[in-house]
Amino acid sequence: MSKLGNLGARLHRGEVGYDFVGKRKIWYGVSILITITAILGLTVRGLNMGIEFQGGADFTTPKTSVSVAQAGTYAQAASGHQAVVQKLGTGGLRIQIAGIDTSKSDQIKASLAKDLKVPAESINADLVGPSWGEEIAGKAWEGLAIFMVLVVIYLAIAFEWRMALAALVALIHDITITTGIYALVGFEVTPGTVIGLLTILGYSLYDTVVVFDSLKEQTKDLTKQTRWTYSEIANRSINGTLVRSINTTVVALLPVAGLLFIGGGFLGAGTLNDISLSLFVGLAAGAYSSIFIATPLVADLKEREPQFKALKKRVLAKRAQGGAEGNLAEARATGTAEDEDPQDAAPAVVGPRNQPSSRNRGRGRPSGKRR
**Domains contained in the chain, CATH given:** 3-49+132-302 (1.20.1640.10), 56-128 (3.30.70.3400)
Short-list 69, 81, 57, 70, CA closest to 117: 70
Q: Which residues, 6+ apart, have CB-to-CB distance to 320 below 8 Å?
A: none
Rounded Cα gap, residues 211 and 240, in angstroms? 8
Could you tell me if 84 and 95 are in contact, meaning their C-beta atoms sit under 8 angstroms apart?
A: yes
Helices (H), the chain: 3-13, 24-44, 51-54, 68-79, 105-116, 130-158, 161-185, 191-218, 230-240, 242-257, 273-289, 295-302, 306-334
Rounded Cα gap, residues 233 and 162, in angstroms? 16
What is the 8-class DSSP label of residue 287? H
What is the 8-class DSSP label of residue 18? -
Could you tell me if 61 and 95 are in contact, meaning their C-beta atoms sit under 8 angstroms apart?
A: yes
Rounded Cα gap, residues 66 and 300, in angstroms? 59
What pLDDT is attached to residue 246?
84
Q: Could you tell me the pTM of the whole model?
A: 0.72
Rounded Cα gap, residues 280 and 260, in angstroms? 8
Residue environment code for 5-14, b if the CB has 16+ CB neighbours within 10 A, otherwise e: eeebeebbee
Q: Helices 68-79 and 105-116 meet at what angle, rounded to 10?
A: 140
What pLDDT is attached to residue 32?
94
301 three-class SS: helix
CB-side neighbour CA atoms (13 Å) of 345 = 8
Phi, psi angle pair for 322, to nearest 5°: -65, -35
In the sheet where 93-98 sits, what is the strand order? 83-87, 93-98, 56-60, 124-128
What pLDDT is attached to residue 259?
79
What pLDDT is attached to residue 169?
92
Could you tell me if 210 and 245 are in contact, meaning their C-beta atoms sit under 8 angstroms apart?
A: yes
188 three-class SS: strand
Short-list 54, 39, 140, 68, CA closest to 97: 54
Rounded Cα gap, residues 149 and 195, in angstroms? 18
Count Cβ atoms below 10 Å from residue 59 Cβ, excluding itself. 27
pLDDT tens, residue order, the chain (371 aa): 455 556 656 665 656 678 888 889 999 999 999 999 999 988 988 888 877 777 788 888 888 888 888 888 988 888 888 888 877 777 888 888 887 776 788 888 888 888 888 888 888 888 877 676 677 777 878 888 888 888 889 888 988 899 999 999 999 999 899 889 888 888 778 777 888 888 888 888 888 888 888 888 888 888 888 888 999 999 888 888 888 888 888 888 888 888 777 765 555 555 567 788 888 888 888 889 988 999 999 999 999 999 989 998 998 888 888 766 656 565 565 554 554 444 444 443 444 444 454 444 544 455 444 44
Rounded Cα gap, residues 139 and 145, in angstroms? 10
Planar angle of CA 132, 135, 136, nearest 5 degrees? 90
81 CA to centre of own chain = 38
Please report, as a single letter, which amino acid is at residue 362. Answer: G
Short-list 293, 285, 297, CA closest to 197: 285
